[in-house]
């Protein structure tokens, strides 16, 4: 199969950073997006427009929660478009080392994981993730072409990739 034949979602990268290019400190304290209402509104609009949100495990560890759609108008618009209230929240972690007690797992959102074979092992026979995508290259890197093909096959057309600089 050639690259052109793969059905894969479109991505929008939504970056947050301060003047020094970072959003988390050395201790990975929770990022503060509250300083600009306009920035938060923009971020929520990007999340509401997407079928899925992709963030790395470091971003999840820093914040502890998913970036959910909370604005009732944006939720109503998603429902009018035939979408679920919340986009799938996809965590990317090759190691799979994610604290199962994070508030993230108590939020009413679809929880998905992209990981490697070793990273998937701790999550087998657990209900934390509704979907686990395990695709590795021969050198044990995540195989994003295969991941995106799986996402496209599941009807995911747009992904908001969230993170810092």
Q: Which tens digit of pLDDT belongs to each residue from 96-155?
A: 999 999 999 999 999 999 999 999 999 999 999 999 999 999 998 999 999 999 999 999
Contact by Cβ (8 Å): 163, 61: no
Distance CA 93, CA 28 (A): 16
Q: Does residue 75 carry a pLDDT above 70?
A: yes
pLDDT tens-digit map of 4-30:
566 778 888 887 666 555 555 555 555
Structural domains in the chain plus CATH codes: 8-16+33-164 (3.40.430.10)
Beta strand segments in 17-157, E? 52-56, 88-92, 111-115, 131-134
What pTM was computed for the model? 0.85
Q: Does residue 44 carry a pLDDT above 70?
A: yes
pLDDT at 30: 52
Q: Is the dihedral of CA 88, 94, 96, 102 positive or negative?
A: negative
């Amino acid at each position: 199969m050639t690259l052109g034949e793969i059905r894969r979602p479109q991505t929008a990268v939504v970056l947050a950073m301060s003047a020094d290019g970072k959003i988390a400190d050395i201790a990975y304290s929770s990022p503060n997006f509250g300083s600009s209402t306009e920035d938060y509104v923009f971020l929520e609009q990007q999340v509401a427009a997407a079928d899925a949100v992709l963030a790395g495990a470091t971003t999840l560890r820093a914040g502890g929660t998913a970036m959910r759609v909370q604005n009732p108008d944006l939720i109503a618009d998603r429902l009018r478009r035939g979408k679920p209230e919340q986009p799938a929240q996809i965590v990317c972690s090759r190691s799979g080392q994610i604290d199962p007690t994070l508030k993230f797992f108590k939020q009413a959102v679809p929880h998905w994981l992209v990981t490697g074979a070793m990273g998937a092992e701790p999550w087998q026979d657990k209900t934390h993730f509704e979907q686990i995508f395990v695709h590795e290259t021969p050198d044990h890197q995540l195989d994003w072409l295969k991941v995106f093909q799986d996402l496209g096959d599941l009807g995911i057309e747009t992904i908001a990739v969230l993170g810092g600089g």
